[in-house]
Amino acid sequence: MRRILFFKLSLLFFSVLFLQSTFAQDYIHWSLPEGTKARLGKGEISEIAYSPDGTRLAVASSIGIWIYDVHSGVEYTLLTGHTDPVNSVAFSPDGGTLASASRDKTIRLWDAASGEQLHTLTGHISGVNSIAFSPDGSILASSGGLLDKTIRLWDAVSGLHKRSLTGHTDSVTSVAFSPDGSTLASGGWDKTIRLWDAISGVQVHCLTGHTDWVNSVAFSPDGSTLASGSKDHTIHLWDAVNGVQVHSLTEHTWSVNSVAFSPDGSTLASGSGDSSICLWDPVRGEYLQKLEGHTFGVRCIAFSPDGSTLVSGSFNDSIHLRDTISGETKLTLKGHTYWVNSVVFSPDGGTLASGSEDGDIRLWDVVSREHKRTMEGNWFGITSVIFSPDGSTLASGGGREGLDTTIRLWEAASGKHVRTLTGHTGQVTCVAFSPDGGTLASASQDNTIRLWEVASGEPVRTLEGHKDWVSSIAFSPDGSTFASGSGDSTVRMWDVVNGEHKQRLAGHIYPVSSVAFSPDGRTLASGSWDNTVRLWGTTVAGFYFHKRTLTGHTGMVSSVAFSPDGSTLASGDAHDCIRLWDAVSGEHRRTLTGHTGMVSSIAFSSDGSMLASGSWDGAILIWDLSPNTGVIETRQ
């Protein structure tokens, strides 16, 4: 009777949500932090779980838990409450409860039908990496990170802590119960798999053989075999009773991040950082088939309860649902994004560009909040994007040392690639146009700054002087000077015309991550890993001096930006918050919180009414800066 009632309530609840989603498609406004207008991007994917009835998918992401309809791909809802990325999700066997584990050190239990939070479980002293329900649903197991190294068992109904299991000597990455519930398996960074008596908590076996981190463990449906996937590129199959290794499977060329058995036990699937999924015969230990289609590493995989579908989530933006027989993709869920490293408004304020660690540049319509276009940029990540002053051209930079360390120029209206600029030998960390649009400056981890002629793409000169990587560059409003911040903890001023070094500004005690000029050019702001922002003023002779230091950030300052009228300075930090300051007095005005990862980039709209922030949580938030918006001091 209880299950029938739950089923009816679930149908009613999700029917309503489905109708709302069908007609509104307004998930960009769901569960927004106070003071924001919209969220662009759904965050980075960590894990995916099917509901027991196979109708829903729960996706653990860096901004919360997304619930999808399996057949239509429509978003049901977004569950928020964790203050850091969600690492793991699991449905209880009866489907009534959803559990989530987060980097914020907590586990949360949710009513799967209503989305109401039931309990918050605390006790881990590091982020919680993995969770699993026992087959009868009475116990929830959780594993802790680097500072914790423990497995905790909880009463799944009351949320009370029952027992802690110790033995791992490093972060515990994955836990799984045997089908009969008698054994718990765990894998960790200590390269071991451990088998525990689930009742007494006594360790039964310690399995060794992997030469690097164990990322994932899974039992076969009959409980006879345990599979483990490792950073050493291999999958090991073990006799789950005596702990003896049976097979070692080698086909992947990168870390094996996830392993899963089909419900009938005939197939083992493995997802890897090499962007592929491999299918195996677990009895013979034979390689069967490789499934491709993801353009970035595969982070998580899961079979549907009936075994007809395999779902996989990638490190970039996609979730694929495939037919397990044909291997063909049934459905692709888009909108998830990897780390956002850079955001910038177009000069007319109509478009927002974002650059991501997945190597893509995305253009968004600011009014409709719709994704307009994706351009495939540097394969090894985009660190910086910028529009030319007339808005016709977009420049992007990124890469890794010796790997695609290029700058690309794009036609902003069409997204057409125009030109590639080469010369840097280290990652391009920042690009900036001169006020007249004729010159492009680029900063790099090779310790240099390069100036380029935009029309031809020809290099003009290379500037050297910094003793470490150059993190940020900015032109003065009149275009005569530009500033550069560096890992050597200094800011340097340069003459744009002849490339001569004019002045070295010292005072920060750790790397300078960002520099920005005020609109009138009289003030320069610099943000640093020392958790401070420094304001520098100009003398009559044009030299800069230290005016004041702004303190209050509890993490390194990653980005600084002035409002168009010069009255406000914004700064973002590694502890997920943005602070707004009076640019003249240095007085702190407001604190904006809502991201669950480092705020990597901030940008004001051309009229100053909005602030966009990009984060390592894979999302972009657009903040309302209208005068009547209230002060935000607490995390949402």
Query: What does the alpha-carbon distance between residue 336 and residue 433 come to, in Å, rounded to a whole number?
Result: 30
**Cα separation of 554 and 25, whole Å?**
37
Instruction: Return the CA Rg of the chain.
Output: 26
Q: What is the pLDDT of residue 24?
A: 36
Asked whether the whole model's pTM tops 0.85, one would answer: yes
Q: How far apart are the first and last CA of the chain?
A: 38
Instruction: For strands 449-453 and 225-230, give the pairing.
Output: unpaired
Which pLDDT score, from 0 to 100, does residue 317 have? 61
Residues in CB range of 323: below 8 A, 6 or more apart: 308, 309, 330
> Who contacts 564 (Cβ-Cβ below 8 Å, separation ≥6)?
519, 604, 606, 607, 608
| Residue-averaged pLDDT of the chain | 91
Encode pLDDT of 336-365 as tens digits: 778 899 999 999 989 999 998 888 899 998
SS3 letters across 457-508: CCEEEEECCCCCCEEEEEECCCCCEEEEEECCCCEEEEECCCCCEEEEECCC
Query: CA 622 from chain center: how many Å?
Result: 17
Maximum Cα–Cα distance across the chain:
84
Secondary structure (3-state) at 169? coil
Q: Tens digit of pLDDT for each residue in 186-226?
A: 999 999 999 999 999 999 999 999 999 999 999 999 999 99
Tens of pLDDT, residue by residue over 26-43, are: 778 888 888 888 888 888
Local structure of 273: helix, strand or coil: coil
pLDDT on residue 316: 66
**What is the per-residue pLDDT for 636?**
34
Instruction: Report d(CA 79, CA 122) in Å as an integer.
Output: 19
For residue 457, what are its two tokens? 């793409």
Angle made by CA atoms 34, 36, 40, in degrees to the nearest 5:
130
Walking along the chain (636 residues) 10 residues at a time, the average pLDDT comes out as 35 37 59 86 92 95 93 91 95 97 97 95 97 98 96 96 97 98 98 97 97 98 98 98 96 97 97 95 96 89 95 84 89 82 92 90 88 84 94 93 88 93 94 96 96 94 95 95 96 93 96 97 96 93 92 96 96 95 95 93 93 92 75 36
Nearest to 181 by CA among 242, 239, 136: 136
CA distance readout (Å), 252 to 145, 230, 274: 26, 10, 7
- The DSSP annotation for 399-428 comes to -BTTBS--EEEEETTT--EEEEE---SS-E
Nearest of 126, 251, 261 to residue 185 by alpha carbon: 261
pLDDT at residue 369, rounded to an integer = 83
Q: How many residues does the chain have?
A: 636
What count of other Cβ atoms lies within 10 Å of the Cβ of residue 581? 22
Per-residue pLDDT reduced to its tens digit, 250-272: 999 999 999 999 999 999 999 99
For tokens 């006799």, name the residue: 239
Looking at residue 112, the DSSP 8-state letter turns out to be T
Residues facing 249 on adjacent strands: 235
The SS3 of residue 89 is strand
Within 8 A by CB and 6+ apart from 259, the residues are 216, 217, 218, 227, 228, 229, 235, 268, 269, 270, 271, 301
